[in-house]
Structure 1
């Protein structure tokens, strides 16, 4: 299991938010491993992964590119970053005032290998 310093993981959470707010998809993707897996209940609505999962960086690029096109005012306001030895949770509020927790597991190289967007049930 990778062991990362809490400060490194907290910094990754900050960088992740900054990359999204810059709408810099390639910068976001640079934080992910080529074989990364992303799960979200929003994925099927955009026509990707009926099971809510996107696998691999190319599929992530296609999914997020479509999502960014639909959300021109995307903005994440960081609330907190929680860390464990091999993962972090980025707790943020989006441009619509919705609070989201993004679970991000990292590998030994510090790249994200698994992400899960967790939304409140409304």
Structure 2
């Protein structure tokens, strides 16, 4: 039964992640993340941030996502599904441009996101 509750909690986190982004409230999004969380995405380099495609720490995430929100005034995510493991959730969603994306989110023991990776469909 504990496993079921954990899976339900992780799925709920995935739904909250979508709702936080759709609220366009950057602090609400960041509240889901650990202070030293790490994020990887091909968009990081594309927006002029770290050439490795990975950022570490909330301060860097705030700058990156703040710029992204400014550039994408119509940003909206539609949840398709969530997939869970004992310490992570994958949020499968579609953005406002119709692109389908999988966001891998690994959590620490406190339930905060410590590692994220945006995975886009290869063309």
Q: Tell me the TM-score range normalised by the shorter chain.
A: over 0.9
Secondary structure at the aligned position of 2:110 is classed as coil
Residues 1:32 and 2:26 are matched in the alignment? no
Q: Between the two structures, name the one with larger relative contact order (CA 8 Å, sep ≥ 6).
A: 1
Q: Distance in 2 between matches of 1:120 and 1:14?
A: 21
Q: Distance in 2 between matches of 1:100 and 1:15?
A: 16
Residues 1:48 and 2:49 are matched in the alignment? yes
Residues 1:23 and 2:24 are matched in the alignment? yes
1:111 offset after TM fit, Å?
0.1
Q: Which residue of 2 aligns with 1:14?
A: 15
Residues 1:84 and 2:96 are matched in the alignment? no
1:121 offset after TM fit, Å?
1.1
Q: Distance in 1 between matches of 2:33 and 2:49?
A: 18
Secondary structure at the aligned position of 1:42 is classed as helix
In structure 2, runs of 5+ residues without a counterpart are none
In structure 1, runs of 5+ residues without a counterpart are none
Higher fraction of helix: 2
TM-score norm. by structure 2 comes to 0.96
Structure 1 stretches of 4+ with a deviation exceeding 4 A read none
Give the length in aligned residue pairs: 120
